[in-house]
Amino acid sequence: MMNIVLLEPEMPANTGNIGRTCAATGTRLHLIEPLGFKLNEKALRRAGLDYWEKLDVTVYSDYQDFLDKNPKALNKLYFATTKAHRVYSDVAYEPDCYLMFGKESGGIPEELLIENEDRCIRIPMWGEIRSLNLSNSVSIVLYEALRQQGFEKMELEGELHRLQWKSRES
């Protein structure tokens, strides 16, 4: 199972959207405090729709608490940052790795990035754009990691309902 780690997320709508993505992919969500919102906040629930109840989510008091409770994460943790030298798609992700994203206003603290520079990844961007939206960034990197795992246990095909479509055309 993949893991998304949000370090001090600030915007409930982003976290709600990420929670919905995690629920849709069978991914665990780890939230490291302080949070810029309350977990029962309306904007969080609205963005996550009715999927929030299906989510495997854990909240930690700080980064050390996260590491203490997830000792395997230390060697399987990737840090998404605009400061990385390596593109996210150039990494071979483990099936149970942890993808960390920092808060919207400042990203992951520089000291963590320096300590883990070999596991820092970036999404390429054009021009002077500072960064992508947090929930979009999570989706991009998570789906690449899931693609590498063959989208294990995920629905790979949909079904068209041709009879309903034909009745609308009449």
Boundaries of every domain in the chain: 3-169
Q: What is the distance, to the nearest Å, from the Cα of residue 148 to the centroid of all Cα atoms in its chain?
A: 16
Confirm or deny that 102 is annotated as ligand binding: yes
User: With contact defined as beta carbons under 8 Å apart, do 169 and 130 qualify?
Assistant: no
- Give the neighbor-by-neighbor strand order of the sheet with 3-7: 57-60, 28-32, 3-7, 98-101, 77-80, 120-121
Confirm or deny that 129 is annotated as ligand binding: no
- Residue by residue, pLDDT tens for the chain (170 residues) are 999 999 999 998 899 899 999 999 999 999 999 999 887 767 666 655 567 778 899 999 999 999 999 999 999 999 999 999 999 999 999 999 999 999 999 999 999 999 999 999 999 999 888 889 999 999 999 999 999 998 888 778 888 877 665 556 55
Give pTM, 2 decimals: 0.89
The domain 3-169 having CATH identifier 1.10.940.10: the answer here is no
